Amino acid sequence: MRRIVAILLFTLLSATALMAQQRVLLTRSALDSLVYPTLSAEAQGKLVATPSKCDLGTIDQTKSAMARFTLKNTTTSTIVVRELRTTCSCAEVITKIECIEAGESREIVVRYNPAGRSGEFSTDVFVYTDLDSVRPTERLTLVGQISSSDMFSHLSKQMGPLRLSRTTITLDNLSVGATRSERIVVANAGESSLTLTARPTIEGLRFSLHPTTLQPGEEGEIVISYTPRTLPQRNIETMIIIEGCDARPTERMIRITIKR
């Protein structure tokens, strides 16, 4: 009896694994068709985009760009627009339309946000209508080139004119009387020099800027050091507020974790 149960259990597990593997294979094979579906053959020519591809040219990494498309209903009936689906979060459809009357045209405006991207790009907006319940009726394509004029794009955090590589640090591997330090790469992206200070929140914590004054366009580093007189009994969560840069206090915080 035990042998029969074991055989049945093994057969059930094998079948489950096989079904799971088949589901994974189906999901992978269908991925491209879900993200980049083919257009509806039934709806072909009934809703025409002009242009179907918009070349935004070369755009700055720090500035968004607008693409404009015209959709014309070439039929004798109203076309209901069910969805405008983008293939990338970098593209945002500004215009919201519900239907296009027979023979009429409507403009679609799409905002492209290049932040965090570089080089050539191509992204699509698929137009789903009541002409087909599954496949999109038309495709709008945005293409272009992204250039970066931000010389400090490698420093992702910002406090007014001050750019930083990070705003959180962790101090660990502590020893009594020994100094543990962490460095943050910073740069002055403003037009005036910066002299930064900060008031430590706990004993043994120190803040320093190197060089002591950052000239416009200059990089340096913030050094945060901790020299414990005794080892903490628990992890400490604290912060310091940087003075000397034009930003709200909540935007000038460096969060510090001290591990026991």
Tokens matching residue 145: 């080139």
Tokens matching residue 249: 């206090």
What pLDDT does 260 receive? 78
Could you tell me which of 137, 124, 130 has the C-alpha nearest to residue 45? 137
Q: Is residue 241 a contact partner of residue 203, using CB atoms and an 8 Å limit?
A: no
Q: Where are the beta strands (DSSP E) in 46-195?
A: 47-50, 53-60, 65-73, 79-86, 91-93, 99-100, 105-112, 119-129, 138-147, 157-159, 162-164, 168-171, 180-188
Give the integer Cα–Cα distance in Å for 112 and 91.
Answer: 5
The count of other CB atoms within 10 Å of the CB of residue 145 is: 14
* DSSP structural state of residue 42: T
The CATH number of domain 157-258, selected from 2.40.30.10, 3.40.50.720, 2.60.40.10, 3.40.50.10420: 2.60.40.10
Question: What ranges do the domains of the chain cover?
Answer: 47-147, 157-258
Give the integer Cα–Cα distance in Å for 73 and 104.
Answer: 6
Q: Is-cis flag, bond preceding 211, omega within 30?
A: yes
- The CATH architecture of the domain made up of 47-147 is Sandwich (2.60)
pLDDT tens, per residue, the chain with 260 residues: 444 444 444 444 444 444 444 443 434 444 445 567 899 999 999 999 999 999 999 998 778 999 999 999 999 999 999 999 998 888 999 998 999 999 999 999 999 998 767 788 999 999 999 999 999 999 999 999 988 767 787 888 989 899 999 999 999 989 999 999 999 999 998 889 999 999 888 999 999 999 999 999 999 999 999 999 999 889 999 999 999 988 888 889 999 999 97
